[in-house]
A and B are shown apart, each in its own frame.
Chain A
């Protein structure tokens, strides 16, 4: 019996009835129940929220009362300020007695130190409370609350409130345990949680006391975070993983948060328990309903069962007696219908048998063999024609149809079967099995045999003998294939076209070229593959001419399917057959590669020529004899020769000493075949010698002989010059830094010696027998100081006191003084009128002139002694002029373009050779005998000029003399020239005032301090800038001047001044340094520096500087 996987009507029916019974009364009950639950829940929630808000306000009141108490107490103490200390103490005591949560009260003085406390603790008197944020905050806010902290004296967590009043600050500390007790929930709501946190989230009160004592922080809890932000929360929230009903609020008093709530679980416990009871009762009722429904439904299902039995009989063919009786009218109708259905089936079976007999007669009379097979291919029946082939009926029936197909065609059965299963007919040709007279070919047609219901029951195979027809077809095919092979295998293209140019046929080679399948290609015009502009020519030039001339040939470009361009050489002929329309036949060949190579060769040649011409490096091509045969434009530009001039010559010429090297390199180039490089020199057409880097490449013939030599000459003359200039500049920079460093430290030492010597001199008086020795020391210090100035001149940034200067005035004055000391030297002035002013340190400029003059005099004396005995006429010529300098105009330097004042100082002395000339500006380089020169003169000249943004160069011829050219940048035209040089008389009048002196060198500090004190000032000397800041803060506005050293290890002068200026814009500040100052002060204008003083300073220079400032 067949089993069904479908769901049972019976089960569905039963379940539906049961569910209906339960649902009809349980849904309304559920609805009512849930309404009751929600109402009760909301009532409970509102009740807790109200209680929470009430508790929150009580908490706020409590803290407010504490604060008021402390404030009032402070006010009371203030009112009683004239009273004795014991009366204050009594007040404190009273306050604590009446408020047990306050555990200590402390009165702090204005420096926040404890003056009085209750309970009295000796240890606590005098301790400093300035570390507490809330105490400091009370100074500005009046009253302030602390966070929770552990008292170091009690060891307990406390909170405190500080109230500022006229006598200081009153601090009251509260015991959190008592605060906690005050917040404990009352009896009517024992499960209420009260949590208080300070503004940082530290617990002030919590039902679990250890959470407070352990100073837990719950700022991360969303409810706390929200409340501390000032947002009210509730009525439901989560805290420490538990759900609560309640409320939270932020205390306006101190920004703390109060969270009051009851755990949701506890709050709703009773409500949940009653709900559960109702649900259980409901479930019981539902079960009872289900049971009743089951019995009722079972009775209803009996007629369905009877119907099922009748239909099963029909299925099994037992249709003789299907009569059934039922109590229900509807079911009786069903049984009667089933009975009529069984009678109809019997009638149809009889009609089918008669039809089958008729069909058999038709098959037996057919000429072609006919076979009836079942769906699997087993032969059921054959007709007489089939047996006539030579088979016996008994041997055939039951065999498989494939036994009667040739071995190569057995597969056709599966093919035919698939079609038959789809109820379709099929026809095919197949070989028969080996039989008398060999294999035979049949045309087989197979069709499905269907019953009346349209179901497939068998298949009919009808075979027709076509053996003769097959044989003649095979002979024709073989012949055709031979031609096709030939047609397909040739690499040239063979095609036919109609007179409109459409391809009628082509061999695969042609369609392959165009990237199409032959079928796609046939029928299209070849002009479709041409550029659109050529298509018209195809019609007129090709088709028209071909019709006229009958034969035509040419080369045409086409585009293939993938967009590639191909070139095809073709020959077409017009064929006019006797039968059929005329057509074109032709043969063609792909010549793309050949064509492209030819074109590429032409392009490559043009490109090479363009490169050769445009390359910025001179390139020349020489033949095997070294004669020039080609050159490029750069060659003409650099060397001057054109191709016409140079062709056939050995150009450019080279120095004699390099000829051999060049010859060897050329041989090497020929031997190795690689590019050879060489550094050397070449002459230009106008005779200039250039530094060149040469790259040569040889083109060598198969026999190893040189054919061509291609040579590139890279002109590196300028690059070499710049490299030398850079090396020199770097060397001078390094030496300058070194010299500056030494000078700085040396200055500090001199400072100490100078100060001490001056103090000694002042204290001993002029009459002391050793006073002269002190003078000698002072003179020597002066010499040493000059030496350090020379070194500072060389140092980077070593300039100070820049002023607008007319150099003509300065030179005249200098010449006058120099002329008085060296009357044997003639000074010739050639000073331009209208000379531009320059910004310079006049002292340093005089030093430059002096050094150059002394140098000139010494050179002339040397000439007199060595080169030209009797030479007496010593002339120094000095010339000034305005010049405009362009780039690369200044020998090895590369100055910015602009206006300069040029000073040229010439002598007719001994002059210098190239070697000396290169080194004269190096520090400590001297040509003089040991002890006569320091080697710093010209070095400092170099440094000073460079630090002024200028340049110096020297021209010299041995035995004839030297000329130094100094270039100083022109000053801005708008600056005023102040040329008042007043010689000051130093007055050592005693002054009063307070000066803060900052210098990291203890020795320098002490000496300078004593010097300034000699002037009458009170001096506070400090070596540490941080200490200086503290002194400045302590003295407030009592400082008249601060003198700051620029270079200090922890904090440099500028940083210190910035720090002072942040607090005080008014105090006068002067800077001192042994180093050049100006570069340090760039960008320091806003610091309002009143003056600068150069170390080492004498009592006069410091007095002068101070007088100028205060």
Chain B
């Protein structure tokens, strides 16, 4: 009869081990949650959707490879509706949901709205496309995989001058001032330094809705020799359509904000030869880029543009760092220490303030597609 307690303890011990094992399996299989925020609805959604799709592709690739240490990656996608209050609300929801980092926001204006919250909560935010220089040089919880938009306006101004364009009219969007104002300032400084001038700066507001033809006519009354657009693709397209409707063969320059697939679709011939300054080389034919293009096109039915690459890079940056970092190290420090990251467009670097460095390209539209000029 002495054997009974022994047997019981053995059975109990075995059950405890099985329970712990199952608990462990459960913990291992619980997903790694990453927030993904941007403006996914409305006319400003093109950039965000491309970046979102890039991030989705990256997450799906990681999951296909077995996830992060056996745990699947789950993207919690939230729409900030291009509204600063909504942006803060959705970020708060994501933090409460236990995400390890947030990919977003996609415009500098929305990122600025979320900036205070993420720093207060020490929640890492990795923006694929917010390129305003107002975030540069700050030791914060905001990292971005796109470079600061300082060099593109300078390069664009130089290119503009090389095309002998010295009287430029600029048209900017009221929706993303955090981006458009610094871009315009840099452009103005550069062009004025070389003897050119911005003869008009026109801001597009909601009052102009349905009257873009009037705006286009207003522009040319200032006898410009070129037009600068600091607009998202949907607005850029409509302005280009109206300018071309006036039958004026005037050079049009644009910030990289409009550099999306929608520009080509909705613009048709009216956006031919519009010149952009951005960080993306559409002519790149490396093996990595071709593979990325093929996978993206297969998954989403359209070719990727810059925002898609940045979305992909942002997600990979977070996940690759989670895999490599020591357990004790927080994600932000691990990213800043890693510095160099892989991308389909080649390696890029993140400095100690979380700002990326990428080469500037001058791009144009030719034959219905983007072509690198410089």
Interface residues of A (CB under 8 A from B): 3, 5, 112, 121-123, 126-133, 147, 149-150, 152-153, 155, 199-202, 210, 213-215, 217, 219-220
Contact = CB atoms under 8 A, between A and B. Distances in A.
A217 B268 contact: no
The 5 closest A-B pairs by CB, nearest first: A200-B301, A131-B268, A130-B268, A214-B40, A155-B43
B238 A220 contact: no
A756 B302 CA distance: 54
Among the interface residues A121, A131, A155, A200, which one has the most CB atoms of the partner chain B within 10 A? A131
A112 B301 contact: no
Contacts of B269: 128, 130-131
A126 B245 contact: yes
Contacts of B221: none
Given A3-B2, A152-B237, A200-B301, A131 B264 contact: yes
Main secondary structure of the interface of B (DSSP, over half): helix
A214 B300 contact: no
Interface of B: 1-3, 40-43, 45-46, 49, 53, 60, 77, 79, 210-213, 234-235, 237-238, 241-242, 244-245, 262, 264-271, 299-302, 368
Given A121-B210, A127-B241, A150 B45 contact: yes
Contact of A127 (B235, B270, B302): B270
Most buried by A among B3, B241, B262, B299: B241
Contacts, number: 93
Given A128-B268, A147-B301, A202-B301, 19 more contacts: A5-B3, A123-B212, A123-B238, A128-B269, A130-B269, A131-B264, A131-B267, A132-B268, A133-B265, A152-B43, A152-B234, A152-B237, A152-B238, A155-B43, A210-B79, A214-B49, A217-B53, A217-B301, A220-B299
A325 to B, nearest CB: 29
Contact of A215 (B40, B60, B235, B245): B40
Given A3-B3, A123-B213, A131-B268, A150 B262 contact: yes
A636 B77 CA distance: 92
A201 B298 CA distance: 10
Contacts of B368: 131
A131 B213 contact: no
Contact of B210 (A123, A127, A147, A200): A123
A217 B210 contact: no
B238 A150 contact: no
A201 B301 contact: yes
26 contacts: A5-B3, A112-B268, A122-B211, A123-B213, A126-B241, A128-B244, A128-B267, A130-B269, A131-B265, A131-B269, A132-B265, A132-B268, A150-B43, A150-B262, A152-B262, A155-B43, A200-B300, A202-B301, A214-B45, A214-B49, A214-B77, A214-B79, A217-B300, A219-B299, A219-B301, A220-B299
Contacts of A147: 301
Given A5-B3, A128-B241, A215-B45, A200 B268 contact: no
B370 to A, nearest CB: 13
Contacts of A121: 210
Among B46, B211, B264, B269, max chain A CB count under 10 A is at B269
Contacts of B265: 131-133, 149
A542 to B, nearest CB: 78
| Residue among A130, A147, A215 with the highest chain B CB neighbour number at 10 A | A215
Nearest to A214: B40
Contacts of B268: 112, 128-132
Contacts of A153: 238
A152 B300 contact: no
A122 B216 CA distance: 13
Contacts of A128: 241, 244, 267-270
Contacts of B1: 3
A132 B245 CA distance: 18
Contacts of A199: 301
A128 B244 CA distance: 9
Nearest to B210: A123
B42 A155 contact: yes
Nearest to A152: B234
Nearest to B77: A214
B41 A210 contact: yes
A152 B368 CA distance: 18
Contacts of B79: 210, 214
A430 to B, nearest CB: 48
Contacts of B234: 150, 152, 155
A1 to B, nearest CB: 10
A845 B43 CA distance: 73
Given A5-B3, A123-B242, A214 B41 contact: yes
Given A123-B211, A123-B212, A214-B79, A131 B266 contact: yes
B272 to A, nearest CB: 10
Given A127-B245, A217-B53, A220-B60, A152 B266 contact: yes
Nearest to A217: B300
